[in-house]
Amino acid sequence: MNIILFGPPGAGKGTQAKKLQDEFNIPQLSTGDIFRAAIKNETPLGLKVKSILDNGELVPDETVVDLVADELSKEKYDDGYILDGFPRTVAQAEAFDEYLKDNDDTLDAFISLSVPEEELVKRILSRGEGRADDTEEKVKTRLKVYRKETKPVLDHYQKQGKVHEVNGLGTIDEIFNRIKSTLK
Ligand code: AMP
C-alpha cells in the first residue's frame, strides 16, 4: 500500500504517519526528518539545506526528488510506504507520477488532513520540539509557502481521483480512526 499523507505544517502528518506505520507495518518516509538528520550529522546534504530549513523555505525540487527516489529504492519499501512531507510542489508530484510509472507501481491513497490556519499556528508554537523553524516568523513563512507552492498539489491528485479529505481536528486517536476508515 502506497500512501501520501498531505496537509499544511502543523496538521499532524508526522504523528499520524508514525501511527499508520505501526498499524500497517509499512515504513514512513519523512523528507523533513531526513533533512533534519542530515543537518544534525553535518553531511553534505545537511550543509546544503540547513539555511533553507531554518528559513522555512523549500529545498529545490531536484534535490528532494533525487533523495526520495534513492530512498524508495531500498528493500524496506518494497511492500509499500507512507510519504510524509512529499510531494510539496506540483513539479515534485509530477516527478513522483513518473517514478511510479517507471516502477510499475501506483498510488493507493492521498490523505489530506484539513485544519484551520489559526489552529495550525497555535499547535506549532506550542509543540516545543525545539525546531529552528517553529518560531512565529518562520511559521508565517511556512504557511505562505504552503498556500502558494504546496496547496496546488491537492488539485493535482484531485484530478486523479485519489484524494480523501480527513478532518484534522480532534484527538490523535480520533483523527487516526478517521484515516483508518477512509483506507478501508
Ligand atoms: P517538515 O518536517 O515536513 O515540516 O519539513 C521541514 C522542512 O524541510 C520544510 O519546511 C522544508 O524546508 C523542508 N522539506 C521537507 N520536505 C520537503 C519537500 N518535499 N520539498 C521541499 N522542501 C522540503
pTM to 2 decimal places: 0.96
Give the separation between CA 54 and CA 135, rounded to whole angstroms: 10
> What are 30-45's pLDDT values in tens digits?
999 999 999 999 999 9
Cell of 62: 531536484
Number of H helices, E strands in the chain: 9, 5
pLDDT computed for residue 49 by the predictor: 98
pLDDT confidence bin for 141, thresholds 50/70/90:
very high
pLDDT computed for residue 136 by the predictor: 93
pLDDT computed for residue 184 by the predictor: 86
Q: What phi and psi values does residue 5 have, to the nearest 5 degrees?
A: -105, 115
pLDDT computed for residue 163 by the predictor: 98
pLDDT confidence bin for 154, thresholds 50/70/90:
very high
Cell of 153: 498539489
- Which residues does residue 167 pair with via DSSP β-bridges, in sequence order? 114
Distance 22 CA to ligand 1 centre (A): 23
What is the chain's mean pLDDT, rounded? 97
Q: Which domains does the chain have, with CATH numbers?
A: 2-176 (3.40.50.300)
> What are 76-109's pLDDT values in tens digits?
999 999 999 999 999 999 999 999 999 999 999 9
Give the separation between CA 52 and CA 39, rounded to whole angstroms: 11
12's CB contacts (< 8 A; 6+ apart) are 113, 115, 123, 168, 172, 175
Ligand 1 binding pocket (C-beta < 6 A) is: 9, 31-32, 35, 52-53, 56-59, 64, 85-86, 88, 92, 133, 142
Among all residues, which ones are annotated catalytic? 13, 88, 127, 131, 142
pLDDT computed for residue 127 by the predictor: 87
Instruction: Using alpha carbons, list the distances in angstroms from residue 156 to 47, 55, 105, 162.
Output: 32, 27, 18, 9
